[in-house]
Structure 1
Amino acid sequence: MRRVAVRSVVVAGLLALGAGVPGPAQAWGAGRGAGWAGPEADVSYHGRVALSGSHLRVWLVPENDGPSALANATLRVRLSADLADRQRLADGCARAGLREVVCETGPLPLHGRGRHVGLSLELREPAAEVVVRVDTWWNGGATDRNRANNEHVVLALDTGDAYAF
């Protein structure tokens, strides 16, 4: 049942990115003056990443500071290194490319948090460092005027230490 929800979020995200429905420009507020009247939300992410050899851990919590609640959103984690062919991903997450994973946030209540997301990712080969980019891939068509708090770039060194964002 959970995989169906992930597929529907991923399909909805793909549709929003180019199949005749309001796309990223409208979702982020560029279309406000052009008749786009979706909800407004302020999605943000807080978490940490740790790299040890070829094992990368990512923990994060999505939050919404409003002014509207969201039924769901999809966050994206992109890496500067290739993922191993086989991954065991958390419920609500799906691989979206050689270096990309997307995860649903679950409901984001007004001034509340979504579900905690924990990823234990295997890289194709050990790396001395990995750049981890976290952002919103799909937000249900909401306008987000403060994108600075939902786009993060973190350099994780092969120390096993957790780097916060």
Structure 2
Amino acid sequence: MLPEASARPDASALSGASALRGASALPEPFAGIAPEADVSHHGHVLLWGAGLKVRMRTENHGPSSLTGVTVRVRTSVALAGRQELPQSCLRADGRTVLCRTGSLRADGVQERRLALELRLAGRPDEVVVRVDTLWNGGAADRNPRNNDHKVLAPATGDEYVF
């Protein structure tokens, strides 16, 4: 059975930018709907000897701003024991680093850059680097192709783009 017309929100209540700013701007029946975002990570990786360089920019092309995003960088080989990481990053385990971006405004008008120089345990001939979004504040992201990457980086000293 459908709810009565009087229980449905007025179409004008959903129009305008205020409807996209957060749950408090939505009429009661829509208060539990997650905001929508489109987080993207693009950059390159470079492997030389026991060093792995990861450079990326993170943007939000979606209609809702985000208070922050956590980027996960995972490697197919173990990281060396000690790492010099940016202040916004921490080591999650032997192969994973997590980094926060800070807030990201909607529609790609702002980007955050991240530069990692990781030391690997040993001198591998190649490494697979996975970059993805671990957390985006609970926003729905219907385009994960631009924030979920897997890159093979041979130890050539060349940059491999994602």
Fold equivalence (TM over 0.5) = yes
TM-score bracket relative to the smaller structure: 0.7 to 0.9
- Which SS does the other structure have where 2:145 is aligned? helix
Asked if 2 retains the 8 angstrom alpha-carbon contact of 1:64 and 1:108, the reply is yes
What RMSD in Å do the two structures reach over aligned CA positions?
1.1
Aligned equivalent of 2:73, options 73, 77, 86: 77
Aligned partners of 1:36 and 1:163: how far apart in 2? 41
- Which SS does the other structure have where 1:111 is aligned? helix
Offset at 1:64? Answer: 0.6
Aligned pairs (5 A) from 1:57-68 = 57-68=53-64
Query: 1:103 maps to what in 2?
Result: 99
May I ask how many residue pairs the two structures share in their alignment? Answer: 131
Offset at 1:106? Answer: 1.2
Aligned partners of 1:81 and 1:129: how far apart in 2? 9
Asked if 1 retains the 8 angstrom alpha-carbon contact of 2:126 and 2:153, the reply is yes
Query: 2:115 maps to what in 1?
Result: 118
**Letter matched to residue 37 of structure 1:** I
Aligned pairs (5 A) from 1:1-150 = 36-112=32-108, 113-150=110-147
Query: 1:156 maps to what in 2?
Result: 153
Asked if 1 retains the 8 angstrom alpha-carbon contact of 2:129 and 2:151, the reply is yes
Moved more, 71-80 or 108-117: 108-117
- Which SS does the other structure have where 1:148 is aligned? helix
Aligned partners of 1:36 and 1:151: how far apart in 2? 26
> Scaled by the length of structure 2, what TM-score is found?
0.78
Aligned partners of 2:87 and 2:140: how far apart in 1? 27
Identity %: 53
> Scaled by the length of structure 1, what TM-score is found?
0.77
Asked if 2 retains the 8 angstrom alpha-carbon contact of 1:46 and 1:60, the reply is yes
Larger radius of gyration: 2
Segments of structure 1 that go 5 or more residues without pairing to the other structure are: 1-34
Q: C-alpha offsets along residues 122-144 of structure 1, whole Å, 9 cap, x if unaligned?
A: 00111100000000001111110
Q: C-alpha offsets along residues 75-118 of structure 1, whole Å, 9 cap, x if unaligned?
A: 10000000001000012000011100000011111122332100
Aligned partners of 1:141 and 1:40: how far apart in 2? 9
- Which SS does the other structure have where 1:127 is aligned? coil
Offset at 1:36? Answer: 4.8
